[in-house]
Amino acid sequence: MSVTTALQDAFTAAGFVAPDYGGQCLDGVLVAAADSLAASLGADLGPRAAEARSARERLAVPAATRVCVVLVDGLGYQMLSERSGHAPFLRGALSAGRRLTVGYPSTTAASMGLFGTGRPPGRTALAGYTVRNPEHGGLANLVSWEGVGPAATWQREQTVFTLLSDAGVPVTSVGPAKFAGSGLTQAALDGGRYVKAERLADRVDAATFELSAPGLVYLYWGDVDKTGHQYGWQSREWADALTEADRELARLARGLPAGTVLLVTADHGMVDVDHAQLVDVARAPELAAGVSLVAGEPRATHVHVREGESAAVAERWRRVLGEAALVATRDEAVDAGWFGPVAEHVMPILGDVVVAATGRAGVVDSRTQTPHSLQLRGMHGSFTPGEMYVPLLVVA
């Protein structure tokens, strides 16, 4: 049996979901919205026009002069489906909605790049919560942007907001003040105006006001994800966070001008982990042997090793982790299409060994991760259906 076949068989046996790049995937949502506006306003999207038209047809997004795109961080399709009793507005749109995959890893930085550019992590270099920065060899945090450097140097793909702005279509982002001009915002969502608003109600009011004129408004809400991390998505607290988001999104839908298309999606789902199944590399000599740096996150780990030791490290990790994770060398993961097409400058950012957790397990490294992060109840990053599937709800 070939290595590729064995890896695919293990992938299937784990119940994993592969990214559907260019298909029913998060990478098409903002691109489809761009074509919706271009078709109505007569804007020219240049070399990306055919791609945008294909995305809109694929995701069945109607043409409109006003489009509001809402991304609810951490609202996975499975999570919404199972707890839809707490979200009557979203439940009403779910039956006609679509189930999309995100990319790998199923985590915020990677998904924001996928969403904001229409390109996979192998092109955007937004390949995890933390990654190895080849410039200095240390960890780079792609959410806080610590240790990364200039956004335009790290992420080289055109953003959809820039595409629209260059075509003369007004673009407005509505989100918290701390994200205005942040590294991740510049990398994934550069272009247009940024309106600062903290409470969800204020963001809804701002979005409604901005849509009094034609154009695209993007609204981000992160508290559903934050609550899921702290308490788990099956908790009462998470249900309350979902209820709040649902109530305000219903108000947004009621307040939008006639003819506006509202798209609601998410960047990933979540798994409530079992902390007894988290393996700490710092306390496992067999896992630490030959390893120079552990990056990524507990559910999707980039393991960087000493030169020439990739195969040996991968074999040890397979033996120690067993059914708790799927372990691949970088070449195997790239050949399997996990990251989509990989640009040359992105290759050294990816781990020499790539580890995807199964079930409720994970891999941590207490030498570089904070005690708080190790105690999170909800986590994401791997290929399970709960992490990989997100909704696309179209309200027109």
List every span in the chain annotated with CATH 3.40.720.10. 26-123+143-271+385-395
Question: Residue 1: is its pLDDT beyond 60?
Answer: no
pLDDT at 373: 87
**What integer best gives the mean pLDDT of the chain?**
97
| Rg of the chain taking only CA atoms, in angstroms | 20
Q: Which of 77, 73, 159, 172 is nearest to 116 (CA)?
A: 159
Q: What is the CATH number of domain 26-123+143-271+385-395?
A: 3.40.720.10
Q: What angle do CA 352, 355, 359 make, to 5 degrees?
A: 180
Q: pLDDT per residue over 48-89, tens digit each?
A: 999 999 999 999 999 999 999 999 999 999 999 999 999 999
Question: Residue 161: is its pLDDT beyond 70?
Answer: yes
Question: Residue 94: is its pLDDT beyond 90?
Answer: yes
Give the DSSP letter of residue 24.
Answer: S
Question: Residue 2: is its pLDDT beyond 90?
Answer: no
CATH T-level fold of 3-15+273-379: Gyrase A; domain 2 (3.30.1360)
> Two tokens at 95?
């039956």
Give the DSSP letter of residue 158.
Answer: P
CB atoms within 10 A of CB 394: 19
Are 84 and 205 in contact, with CB atoms under 8 Å apart?
Answer: no
| Pairwise CA distance, residues 34 & 49, whole Å | 9
> Two tokens at 235?
């908790």
| Pairwise CA distance, residues 175 & 172, whole Å | 10
The kind and range of the H/E element at 175 are strand 171-175
pLDDT at 137: 96
Question: Residue 170: is its pLDDT beyond 70?
Answer: yes
Q: What angle do CA 72, 203, 257 make, to 5 degrees?
A: 95
List every span in the chain annotated with CATH 3.30.1360.180. 3-15+273-379
- Find out whether the peptide bond into 105 is cis, omega within 30 degrees of 0: yes
Q: pLDDT per residue over 113-144, tens digit each?
A: 999 999 999 999 999 999 999 999 999 999 99
SS (H, E, C) 341-357: CCCCCCHHHCCCEEEEE
Q: pLDDT per residue over 240-278, tens digit each?
A: 999 999 999 999 999 999 999 999 999 999 999 999 999
pLDDT at 361: 98
Task: Mention every residue, 6+ apart, whose C-beta is less than 8 A from residue 93.
Answer: 264, 393, 394, 395
> Two tokens at 110?
């990677």
The residue written with tokens 């630490």 in the block is 288
pLDDT at 32: 98
> Two tokens at 263?
């798209």
Cβ burial of 309 (10 Å; 0-12, 13-18, 19+) is middle
Share of the chain above pLDDT 90, in %: 97
Confidence category of residue 5, pLDDT binned at 50, 70, 90: confident
